[in-house]
């Protein structure tokens, strides 16, 4: 069944059928109510469904949003870190009536996926949500230069221009945890992680830590309990949740009580599987909401609005691994 068939059945032109299907008039053309109803009745009785590709191409939008991930998002070893982001992306796409296309054909070069390659299919989608702890600055710069609609999940500032993104307030959430530790009497705090040498999300955590800790703080790049004990720190701030779990277990094996002898604060959710009975103090990243709002920002861009940069608050977790500092 085609539009021509519907036109023949109802005695109108194919253009009239098209206008009825699109629910609009064109120029000075006005469709009589009885003609419109006759066409709609023929559509209902025949079960005709308009070709979605043809309709979307005519409207210059496919109503398909792409999702590109720089890291694999489904392995169990990731501890389901990306799952809430994808849930938020899916829910908002459903709300606005768009389909999702997960780009999985991108080749891995030097251990990382790349958006731009010989057979890249980015233009199959109206726009794209970029997801990953690390995004290639050169590819972000090219996306901006070519006018490709996209939104990053996570703050990005190294693309040579303003990148639309939805990020988390890592500096504020981290600083709040540092202040809480200092109020409990902790005078020597150690940060474990890449900090300023890592991606924006890590650099933001370190920025919040160093600003709030001041002379009380130091940093170790790797989770090394011996190095932590040498600093005589009483509170350990871990960039990676799983490192906190491992260090707390090592401390317990050496007879140290957690949190009485050594407190731990996790700066976010686990990106690796970290089974534990510990209820780590720290904060949660608003992952589901970040995914949802990334689609909101992308939809606004596709409607001609300027790209936004949004920062969402993190949720504090009281936990049980931060206590009054030992004497």
pLDDT of residue 79: 55
Provide the pLDDT confidence category of residue 320 given band limits of 50, 70 and 90: very high
User: Is 296 among the domain residues?
Assistant: yes
Provide the pLDDT confidence category of residue 16 given band limits of 50, 70 and 90: confident
Question: Side-chain half-sphere of 29: how many Cα atoms within 13 Å?
Answer: 15
User: Is 185 among the domain residues?
Assistant: yes
Say if residue 255 is in the same domain as residue 291.
Answer: no
Phi-psi region of 307 (alpha: psi -120 to 50; beta: other; left: phi over 0): beta
pTM of the model: 0.79
User: Is 55 among the domain residues?
Assistant: no
9: Cα separation from own chain's centroid: 50
Say if residue 155 is in the same domain as residue 82.
Answer: yes
Say if residue 295 is in the same domain as residue 265.
Answer: no
User: Is 196 among the domain residues?
Assistant: yes
pLDDT of residue 281: 98
DSSP H or E stretch at residue 93: helix 83-95
On the question of pLDDT at 57 being above 50, the answer is no
Phi, psi of 68 (to 5 degrees): -115, 130
Q: Which residue has the tokens 């988390």?
A: 168
Say if residue 104 is in the same domain as residue 248.
Answer: no
Say if residue 119 is in the same domain as residue 139.
Answer: yes
User: Is 235 among the domain residues?
Assistant: yes
Say if residue 276 is in the same domain as residue 298.
Answer: no
- Cβ atoms of 139 and 103 within 8 Å: the answer is no
Say if residue 199 is in the same domain as residue 299.
Answer: no
Total domain count, the chain: 3
Say if residue 68 is in the same domain as residue 90.
Answer: yes
- Quick one: what percent of the chain has pLDDT higher than 90? 60
Q: Residue 203 maps to which CATH number?
A: 3.40.50.2300
Which string of DSSP letters, residue by residue, matches 8-36? HHHTS-HHHHHHHHHT---TT----HHHH
Positive or negative CA dihedral for 113, 118, 124, 128? positive
Closest CA to 238 of 294, 195, 275, 293: 195
User: Is 56 among the domain residues?
Assistant: no
Say if residue 156 is in the same domain as residue 72.
Answer: yes
On the question of pLDDT at 114 being above 90, the answer is no
Mean pLDDT for the chain overall: 88
Q: Residue 11 maps to which CATH number?
A: 1.10.260.40
Say if residue 179 is in the same domain as residue 278.
Answer: yes
User: Is 319 among the domain residues?
Assistant: no
Q: Give the range of the structural domain holding residue 309, as residue numbers without chain letter.
A: 64-168+287-314
- Cβ atoms of 238 and 223 within 8 Å: the answer is yes
Summarize pLDDT for 165-222 with one digit per residue, the tens. 999 999 999 999 999 999 999 999 999 999 999 999 999 999 999 999 999 999 999 9
User: Is 100 among the domain residues?
Assistant: yes
Cα 56–Cα 60–Cα 64 angle in degrees, nearest 5: 55
Say if residue 237 is in the same domain as residue 279.
Answer: yes
Say if residue 180 is in the same domain as residue 242.
Answer: yes
């Amino acid at each position: 069944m085609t539009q021509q068939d519907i036109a023949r059945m109802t005695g109108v032109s194919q253009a009239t059928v098209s206008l009825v299907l699109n629910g609009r008039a064109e120029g000075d053309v006005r469709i009589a109510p009885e003609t419109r109803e006759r066409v709609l009745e023929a559509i209902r009785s025949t079960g005709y469904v308009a070709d979605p590709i043809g309709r979307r191409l005519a409207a210059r939008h496919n109503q398909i949003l792409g999702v590109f991930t720089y890291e694999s998002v489904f392995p169990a070893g990731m501890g389901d870190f990306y799952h809430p982001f994808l849930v938020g992306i899916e829910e908002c796409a459903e709300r606005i009536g768009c389909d999702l296309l997960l780009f999985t054909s991108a080749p891995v070069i030097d251990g990382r996926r790349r958006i731009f390659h010989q057979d890249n299919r980015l233009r199959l989608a109206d726009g794209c949500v970029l997801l990953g702890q690390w995004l290639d600055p050169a590819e972000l710069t090219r996306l901006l230069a070519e006018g490709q609609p996209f939104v990053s999940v996570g703050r990005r500032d190294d693309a040579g221009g303003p990148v639309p993104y939805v990020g988390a307030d890592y500096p504020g959430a981290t600083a709040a945890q540092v202040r809480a530790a200092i109020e409990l009497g902790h005078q020597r705090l150690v940060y474990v992680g890449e900090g300023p040498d890592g991606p924006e999300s890590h650099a933001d955590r370190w920025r919040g830590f160093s600003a709030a800790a001041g002379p009380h703080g130091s940093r170790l790049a790797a989770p090394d309990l011996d190095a932590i004990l040498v600093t005589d720190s009483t509170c350990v701030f871990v960039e990676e949740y799983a490192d906190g779990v491992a260090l707390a277990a090592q401390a317990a094996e050496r007879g140290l009580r957690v949190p009485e002898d050594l407190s731990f604060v996790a700066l976010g959710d686990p990106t690796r599987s970290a089974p534990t009975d510990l209820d780590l103090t720290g904060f949660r990243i608003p992952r589901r909401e970040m995914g949802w709002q990334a689609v909101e920002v992308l939809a606004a861009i596709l409607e001609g609005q300027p790209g936004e940069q949004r920062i969402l608050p993190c949720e504090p977790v009281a936990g049980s691994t931060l206590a009054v500092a030992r004497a």
